[in-house]
Structure 1
Amino acid sequence: MRTETAWRRLSPRMLIVHPFQEVIRTAPLLLGVLIAGTTSGGEGHLWGLAAAGVMVVLGMSRWFTTTYMITSEQVQVRRGLLRKRVVTVPMDRIRSVDITSNVLHRVLGLARVEIGTGRSDRKGGGELKLDALQTAAATRLREELLHRTPATVGANAPGAPAVPGIGPAASPPEQEVAALRPSWIGYGPFTLSGVLTVGILGGFVGRVVNEGNVDLRSISSVRATWDWLNGLSLPAEIATITAVLIVFVAVASTLGYVLAFWNFRLTRPTAGTLHVTRGLITTRATTLEERRLRGVELSEPLLLRAVRGARLIAVTTGLRVGRGAQRGGSMLLPPAPRAENERVAAAVLGGSAALTEPLTAHGPIARRRRFTRAVGLNAVVAALLLMLWLLPTDLYEWTWITALALLPFTALLAADRYRNLGHALTGPYLVTRWGSLVRRRVALERDGIVGWTVERSFFQRRAGVVTLTATTAAGRQSYRVQDIELGPALDLARAGVPGLIEPFLVTSGSAPARQPA
């Protein structure tokens, strides 16, 4: 790749995008200025227009103050009006490239590029953002950064000619690993993503009612619905409200699934990268270097697991796992049949069947600890509530009855949590599984493990078990093998990464006398 020394600019079309985004972002503030100016007897509309004008100018200033340069060794982004900033990232620190286009971007033929550097979860972000480039220029930039393919200066300019061998038409052939099937949309209601929609709508309506002093009962349809509900018995009223919420959440979850994952494709270019594209209104394309991939995680929330569904997440460096797999870009497969997740995982891991191999159970001590914590705690709470009810207090009878009725469910939860515990060493991967409400199974590349942590709480010491944690620079950065006996835990660490834990062990005879701090 040749050295490029010229500074490049964002697309001039962003002069439309950024002012619009600034006005939308500060809409509550502008509305407050307008209302405050009007109620105080002043020209509220003039104040509002002046504030909006300031936002527009600030948005437009980004084009004049943002430039970037790419050389064979680093990427530099220079921005700022009053406070100048120059961010420099070495080329070998680039982990991923995200290309996102919302509705306005797509109308104008633009895209936002985010360059992941492996520090994206930290405060202040570790990614570089270029908002916005022309779509073709964003694609060329991705090739330039991940495949070290040179691009010409001025590729962002309107009407710039395509570069032979670099543009999308000359991209290397791709192997399609997975693509969205219409039947997968049926898993949407079981993701419960619509619960967030219900919360947002409820909060918005509550704020409008509170701030605007709106009497909902003055609305005829609301009053009629309220009167109809009051005419029902309490069980029928609860059942009706629950059914309405379930239907609303299911519809909202399905709609969210379609919006987020429509046109989903997972492909593998010949250059050694994984490429994920998805989105109906806002499109997103994420490119990951396979050499940064350290494994995969199979996530099975309880409702999704009930219909034999799951989702697949990449364990890799440079992605925002702290923001969630979907927002962070580490999702390799949306909610889909479990068998499809296992097939895709094997394809991503080079044919390894790490997600289908049998696991080693964790023994009776781990089982007893789960029942003690779940059933025992529930029984103690029920007994305390019963004692408080028998005393001259205002506690209702249904409290201890409810706690007592939950005992069978906590027992089932404890049994499920134990059944889901397990670990294995299979080929180049350490496999660990845990969880019940969200069952997770992780296949972590042993070469990506940089350390081991052996933890024992007070109760674990009395029970004779430990939690062995594999530390890595990828994904969640630590993956635990829970409630395993000390001897097998140390054997697992020795076999997992030979030579890593031995210097920290002191033995007397054949029994380990000290484990890592």
Structure 2
Amino acid sequence: MTTPGSQHFAASRPDPAEPAPEWLPLDRRTIAASTVVAAGALAATAVPAGSGLLLGGVGLAWVLLWTIGGTILGAAATAVIETARLAVTRYRVDAHRIERRVRFLSSSTTSLSTGRVRNVEISADLVQRRMGIATVRLASGETDGSRLILGALDREVAEELRRHLLAERAATDTSELVRLDPGWVRYAPASVMTPLLGLVGIGIVFQVADWFGAVPEMLEWIWDRIGDLPIPVIAAGVLVLALVVGTIASVALFVENWWNLRLEHHEDGSLELHRGLLVGRHTSFDGRRIRGVTLHEPPGFRVLGAARLDVVASGVGTGKDDEGKKKQSPALVPASPRAASADAAGTILGEPVPTALRAHPP
């Protein structure tokens, strides 16, 4: 039996005389939710795949068999896998710890001391929100703290679990630091990632074309139209195309990640972050683990007078934790007017963000 985080377990072991809480199942609606999402993704993939097969001379009957049949088969496989996952997964919560047990060919139990839970994230995509369920992600406060994921629970159960784990912190008075201004979307293309996103988008088009052996025809079609142009003009055109595609992608990512943004500050320094369009996210940051903030001002942001605000906290950042899971994102405020990010940073720090800094010596 593996128990990540068990180094903190003995200190909070309950009284042996207390009856152990019962093991609870995950919400069965997650089977339908996962199946619908998988079917949608497969159907979206089937459209370009079917078009490529038709262009490649494959008969309509075979195209329908591969696309529709593949979608149905993939959705059915997802339903079977999710049913099996829910059948072998249980969890339980008491005043001292939260545990998740998976019993299949072998038994695995993950335990987190409730006193060590520092970050709680509740997320739900469109289908999950419609069905009233949500995925809960918990993280302990260490730099590479253990994580525990429960996917999925009834939305009210998930919120009640969050309040239980955060205890009095979840009920203290809060002040709103930041609320999204839709006009901030204009800062999204100023990121240095915009041209890279454009190049990736163009690369995806060629990759899909390569699956169907259509790259030579595509290149020939393009060259017939631009072959007579000077090389510098062609290079400039490719750059402009990459910027246009990258701008569309960066705006789409901004809207998906930051729509309905609301950042709240608790009296004890804890933070509550609500955001997301297709996938709604509610993240809690324990004030005792917040060490500071970072204002990101790359060249594009500086030109526009914008900045992005990240939190510096234990167990939060880039990379993966000791379970191989992606760590919680440190982003608190997206690209926005610098004053908005700086004001939020000042409230979190308890003092204004310094503006005059000492330069390096010659």
Instruction: Classify 1:134/1:358 alpha carbon distance in 2 versus 1 (closer, same or farther; 3 Å).
Output: same
Structure 1 CA distance, aligned partners of 2:233 and 2:252? Answer: 29
Give the aligned partner of residue 496 of structure 1.
Answer: none
Q: CA deviation at 1:55?
A: 4.3
Letter in 2 for 1:363: P
- Picking from 256, 260, 265, the partner of 1:263 is 260
Instruction: Classify 1:172/1:294 alpha carbon distance in 2 versus 1 (closer, same or farther; 3 Å).
Output: closer
Q: Deviations over 1:169-212 (max 9, x none)?
A: xx554310111112211111112444454344334323332232
Correspondences of 1:317-336 after superposition (within 5 Å) = 317-322=314-319, 328-336=328-336
Give the aligned partner of residue 284 of structure 1.
Answer: 281
Structure 2 CA distance, aligned partners of 1:261 and 1:286? Answer: 13
Greater shift, 58-67 or 186-195, is seen at: 186-195
Structure 2 CA distance, aligned partners of 1:215 and 1:297? Answer: 44
Higher normalized contact order (CA 8 Å, seq sep 6+, divided by chain length): 2
Q: Deviations over 1:441-492 (max 9, x none)?
A: xxxxxxxxxxxxxxxxxxxxxxxxxxxxxxxxxxxxxxxxxxxxxxxxxxxx
Give the aligned partner of residue 185 of structure 2.
Answer: 185
- Structure 2: runs of 5+ lacking an equivalent: 1-13, 59-64, 321-325
Contact 2:197 2:245 in 1 (8 A): no
Q: CA deviation at 1:241?
A: 2.3
Q: Deviations over 1:319-340 (max 9, x none)?
A: 24326xx973321211111222
Contact 1:177 1:268 in 2 (8 A): yes
Does the alignment pair 1:132 with 2:152?
yes
Structure 2 CA distance, aligned partners of 1:108 and 1:8? Answer: 19
Give the aligned partner of residue 147 of structure 1.
Answer: 167
Give the aligned partner of residue 96 of structure 1.
Answer: 119
Q: Deviations over 1:335-358 (max 9, x none)?
A: 1112222111111112x12x3253
Residue correspondences, number:
322
TM-score by length of 1: 0.56
Letter in 1 for 2:259: W
Give the aligned partner of residue 62 of structure 2.
Answer: none
What secondary structure is seen at the aligned counterpart in 2 of 1:333?
strand
TM-score by length of 2: 0.77
Does the alignment pair 1:233 with 2:230?
yes
What secondary structure is seen at the aligned counterpart in 2 of 1:131?
strand
- Picking from 54, 68, 87, the partner of 2:110 is 87
- Structure 1: runs of 5+ lacking an equivalent: 39-43, 150-165, 365-517
Query: What is the root-mean-square deviation in Å for CA atoms of aligned residues?
Result: 3.4
The structure with the largest alpha-carbon Rg is 1
Give the aligned partner of residue 345 of structure 1.
Answer: 345
Structure 1 CA distance, aligned partners of 2:360 and 2:303? Answer: 24
Give the aligned partner of residue 206 of structure 1.
Answer: 206
Does the alignment pair 1:114 with 2:112?
no
What secondary structure is seen at the aligned counterpart in 1 of 2:80?
helix
Structure 2 CA distance, aligned partners of 1:268 and 1:140? Answer: 20
Contact 1:312 1:334 in 2 (8 A): yes
What secondary structure is seen at the aligned counterpart in 2 of 1:285?
strand
Greater shift, 202-211 or 176-185, is seen at: 202-211
What secondary structure is seen at the aligned counterpart in 1 of 2:242?
helix
Instruction: Classify 1:288/1:9 alpha carbon distance in 2 versus 1 (closer, same or farther; 3 Å).
Output: same
Contact 1:147 1:271 in 2 (8 A): no
